[in-house]
Structure 1
Amino acid sequence: MQSITIKRAAAQDAEHLTALIQASSAYQGEYASIISGYRITAGYIARHQVFLAADMTDRPLGFYALVLDPPELDLAFVSDDAQGMGVGRFLVEHMLGRAREAGLADVRVVSHPPAERFYRRLGAERVGTVAPSPPKVTWERPELRFAIADRAVAPRAEATFTR
């Protein structure tokens, strides 16, 4: 069994979160341009609700960033070696609880095209498509929304699950 904890990210986590993004195999090949040179900064962590999932050794397994105004899941990443362990689901459920706590009615997600099915399995509905924005993004991206009002469980600042 493995215990995974979600906690608020701190300024000193910025480098670890940046490394997690840069190591993502989901952004290789045709999608590499979107993360080229991308960095998470201490300022970004201070401005937004950034939460990270870590294992018992405090190794980051994934994270998300919720922007409250306008409401959007700005970033969500799970490390390649933690894929399929339920970390992504746990992070999204936590994010939805945080959104409910903040009084949001819905949360927008501009999805990485291969991740659309994941978000839809968790209850997001496709509401449109976001046009390319060259030079970094040369492909259309699915636009989805999570409705918040019908979700029942509010999160704690920290949450743990055991797999």
Structure 2
Amino acid sequence: MTKKLTTKKGFFTILVCLMVLMFGTSCARITEEQKNTANRITENLFEGIRQEDYSVFSKDFNSDMLSAMDETAFKELAKTIREEFGSDFEIQWVSAQKTTVKGKAFGVHHYKITSTLTSEPADFTLFASEDGNQTFVSGFSMDSIEAE
């Protein structure tokens, strides 16, 4: 009798752990809609760079990003990207996950940038935050390509 009870407790414990893992993982996933929104935002960023148009580039920025990345900084960034990749580059979504910083949820979207001018793809990461029904760029980073 004790052996059956211990086995049932062990099974129940494993079942609860699996449920927590399953639900915990599913809550940390990015939805298809969030992925599509991040892709649209990323397209805006790089279309602004291609066109050298700060208003297109920054149209999805939150207020902190607008302060951090003014038009002068944008021009420097656009010049650097055009020098490294030219104007004919492609951006491909790789993966994403949700994270929380100081109680605020962020989508972290990873992309690869390829170009005929580079032998290796570069990594681009978009940090997106939601405020109500709107998604904003809260930050981004790009791994620089090392010269060979």
Higher helix share: 2
The normalised TM-score by structure 1 is 0.25
Q: Relative contact order: is structure 1 or structure 2 higher (C-alpha 8 Å, sep ≥ 6)?
A: 1
